[in-house]
């Protein structure tokens, strides 16, 4: 589902099985396949904090979306685990595309007390942040959800949450086929399958402590 309202599927679900992928059902009882959104965001953010960054910006998709909420929760949890409270002024949500992410990043970079690292909740936001860094001549570590093509050759310190996107489809198909084979037998409880994540790091991790790198470094 692309949005947070799925009640329009309720009537169809009386006749055909439905499986949700990447986001859970809201107000409906059906199978779903999810990604470790919370765990992946927490692990990637923890890498930045371990490198010495205490001012990490958060660039996120709309908070009403499950993925945006879970990844912010993981970002926050990583900070709590090391006793650091994120700076609310460095959190930007509701970014729907790379252009919006680029503008938000440029705004953050223009601050005197700007971030020393950036966390992004999906690859479109990561790409917008990277474009802003390039245009401003600034090098900051970027962490983000979703690996993307050429991320390993950019020469930037990148920390990316990776997972097998094909596995989401495979698991969803297995759940669906199982429901079809079950037929009109006694309905079983809805099932939730979670696809694991792991962190991939490209480039040399940059530990800058409390100091923000200057433009052109």
**pLDDT tens per residue across span 40-84:** 999 999 999 999 999 999 999 988 888 999 999 999 999 999 999
- Region 36-41: mean pLDDT is 97
- Alpha carbon separation from 151 to 82, 130, 142, 148 (Å, rounded): 28, 10, 11, 6
What's the CA gap between 178 and 64, in Å, rounded?
A: 31
pLDDT at 140: 93
DSSP secondary structure, 60-127, as one string: -S-TTSHHHHHHHHHHHHHHHHTT----GGGEE----SHHHHHHHHHHHHTSTT--SEEEESSHHHHH
What's the CA gap between 204 and 155, in Å, rounded?
A: 8
pLDDT at 185: 65
Residues of the chain with CATH 3.40.50.2300: 37-162
CB 50 within 8 A of CB 211: no
For the chain, give the percent of residues with pLDDT over 90.
67
Given pLDDT bands bounded at 50, 70 and 90, which one contains residue 182?
Answer: confident
Give the rounded distance of the alpha carbon of 180 from its chain centre. 32
- Whether pTM > 0.75 for this model: the answer is yes
Query: Which DSSP letter does residue 211 get?
Result: P
Query: Could you count the other beta carbons within 10 Å of the beta carbon of residue 96?
Result: 11
CATH superfamily of the 37-162 domain: Response regulator (3.40.50.2300)
pLDDT at 213: 46
Torsion of CA 15, 21, 24, 26, to 10 degrees: -40
Tokens (6 digits) for 192 = 């939730």
Given pLDDT bands bounded at 50, 70 and 90, which one contains residue 186?
Answer: low
């Amino acid at each position: 589902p692309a949005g947070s309202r799925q009640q329009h599927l309720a009537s169809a679900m009386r006749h055909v099985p439905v499986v949700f992928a990447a986001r859970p059902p809201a107000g409906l009882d059906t199978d779903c396949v999810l990604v470790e959104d919370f765990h992946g965001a927490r692990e990637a953010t923890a890498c930045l904090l371990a490198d010495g960054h205490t001012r990490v910006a958060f660039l996120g998709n709309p908070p009403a979306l499950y993925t945006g909420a879970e990844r912010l929760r993981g970002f926050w949890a990583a900070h709590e685990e090391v006793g650091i409270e994120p700076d609310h002024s460095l959190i930007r949500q509701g970014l729907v595309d790379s252009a919006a992410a680029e503008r938000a990043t440029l705004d953050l970079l223009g601050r005197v007390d700007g971030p020393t690292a950036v966390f992004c909740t999906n690859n479109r936001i990561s790409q917008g942040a990277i474009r802003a860094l390039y245009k401003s001549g600034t090098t900051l570590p970027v962490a983000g959800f979703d690996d993307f093509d050429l991320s390993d050759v950019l020469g930037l310190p990148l920390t990316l949450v990776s997972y097998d996107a094909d596995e989401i489809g495979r698991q969803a198909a297995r759940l669906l086929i199982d429901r079809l084979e079950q037929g009109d037998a006694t309905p079983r409880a809805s099932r939730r399958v979670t696809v694991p994540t792991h962190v991939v790091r490209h480039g040399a991790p940059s530990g800058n402590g409390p100091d923000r790198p200057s433009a052109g470094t």
